[in-house]
Structure 1
């Protein structure tokens, strides 16, 4: 069955977040005007956001954690406060054994412990369960491959990325108008940042319900180092996030599907993969925040000396 056009567009954006309308029109064999109208609807509704992000390593952010939160009350104010923490890059209201999950990114384990202590002090927070990320294998806004440390990153580079943090599909001309260099020079600078894995530009799907998609988080306990299981997971459809962790799980992932029934079938497939010993899942009911480290405001970048 052919996917609806909105889902096809999201698939293309997740392949190349800055793909042109003309190229999408060619691939999908749909009029350019239709592509433009549907993209505008996706962006204006908040279903999809295309943004740039600095490599966390470049910002001095080296500790990632997934935190499941159990609360004693159903308090949206508490949820919003947890989502609003500077170190929170992802926050979702969930079903299952916990009421909410957070992804935290900080400089080191000492800072992580301090943030967790702060969260435990919030009225209504009963318990936390924390997994430490060892390797994030798949995520829209994490560069693939090793970072190449730059000789320098100047104010023009920072401004270009800052603008792309607001609109990751901003044209080279519009960026040029702000930084006062030619569009070609803007493109060259951005390509260099991307090639060196200092910056990535990705499509983040924040409001799946508007396009009828369901999403679940999954924690797996696996045999051995899990390499073969992770390889098998990488080939499964609908995997939006995949990571190795230390904690009550060995592998964490997010899987999406067009319907709840299709999501259930994908969970059954994952449960049956060779090497999977145990699986726990939770449904993402509402995403409160999905925003990744994007500025020099708090984190410490590399010394440019």
Structure 2
């Protein structure tokens, strides 16, 4: 990936639905060259352009972070946990625990059932759970959920964007049996209102390109007071307040271990942070948004 590719990624990060013509103007390429470069990035680099909506928008308002220790080889265990549709994220980690999973559920009963199912898998020896109370930063920042009024068509469009944030209006219209104009109007409303954000993430198979570090914080005071200090530190792609093992759970992305560690040191320097537990994501087995 060269400097021009990095520029294209930055433009996609700023506007995941940027047109090829707009992209060409911004990076100084012909339309054909810009299209070819972007297509190559999206097919070969592991980058995905997706739409992200707050979990509550898609009917999954209850979220939990689950740390799992194991007495068996973890690859097979991680793959088995990943088969559960209630588990949206599974990672093999280096740290106190062997695996990290993220569960999203319709209610607390479904969350409890999922946690019990994981606990009963042979090889699982110990689990620690923290329930998210507020999603502060997600990989694309959280969507708005205030005054939320969505119908079945909105939800269908959101699901298409979750799979591919650059899906054309014509394709959406064909899939859903609506006019292209309706698809465009509805999607622009979702984007303008902040219900859906479009941005970049990486396919799990390409995660070795980046260093991903998890942090579990114990703090003094409230998470709301601390979040402004944390948001000023570059590198966070996930930040949530929680109840349980940790007061705040965060994820830091870095181009290498050194950049991730610099972020962690900045967190440790905040007076309100009284304890930091860290883990490295060695292999992301499943990641859905």
TM-score under structure 1 length normalisation: 0.83
Alignment partner, residue 20 of structure 1? 19
> How far apart, in 2, do the equivalents of 1:8 and 1:284 lie?
27
Higher helix share: 2
Alpha-carbon contact 1:176-1:186 (below 8 Å) kept: yes
What do you get for the CA RMSD once the two structures are aligned? 2.6
Q: What pairs with 1:207-218 in structure 2 (closer than 5 Å)?
A: 207=204, 212-218=209-215
The answer for unaligned runs of 5 or more in structure 1 is 293-305
Counterpart check, 1:203 vs 2:200: yes
| 3-state DSSP of counterpart to 1:188 | helix
Alpha-carbon contact 1:6-1:42 (below 8 Å) kept: yes
Counterpart check, 1:243 vs 2:247: no
> How far apart, in 2, do the equivalents of 1:6 and 1:221 lie?
39
Alignment partner, residue 64 of structure 1? 63
Alignment partner, residue 186 of structure 1? 183
Change (3 A) 1:94 1:30: farther
> How far apart, in 2, do the equivalents of 1:210 and 1:198 lie?
27
Counterpart check, 1:122 vs 2:121: yes
Alpha-carbon contact 2:204-2:287 (below 8 Å) kept: no
Counterpart check, 1:277 vs 2:274: yes
Alignment partner, residue 298 of structure 1? none
Give the Å deviation of 1:147: 3.4
Q: What pairs with 1:1-305 in structure 2 (closer than 5 Å)?
A: 4-45=3-44, 47-53=46-52, 55-140=54-139, 143-150=142-149, 153-154=151-152, 156-196=153-193, 198-207=195-204, 212-292=209-289
> How far apart, in 1, do the equivalents of 2:114 and 2:49 lie?
28
> How far apart, in 2, do the equivalents of 1:12 and 1:258 lie?
18
Would you say how many aligned residue pairs link Structure 1 and Structure 2?
288
Alignment partner, residue 303 of structure 1? none
Give the Å deviation of 1:7: 4.3
| 3-state DSSP of counterpart to 2:79 | helix
Deviates more, 1:35-44 or 1:263-272: 35-44
Alignment partner, residue 299 of structure 1? none
TM-score under structure 2 length normalisation: 0.87
Give the Å deviation of 1:89: 1.1
CA distances 1:137-193 after superposition (whole Å, capped 9, x unpaired): 11136643333332x614x44543343343220112222333444433211111223
The answer for unaligned runs of 5 or more in structure 2 is none
Change (3 A) 1:210 1:82: closer
> How far apart, in 1, do the equivalents of 2:208 and 2:94 lie?
20
Give the Å deviation of 1:11: 3.8
Alpha-carbon contact 2:54-2:143 (below 8 Å) kept: no
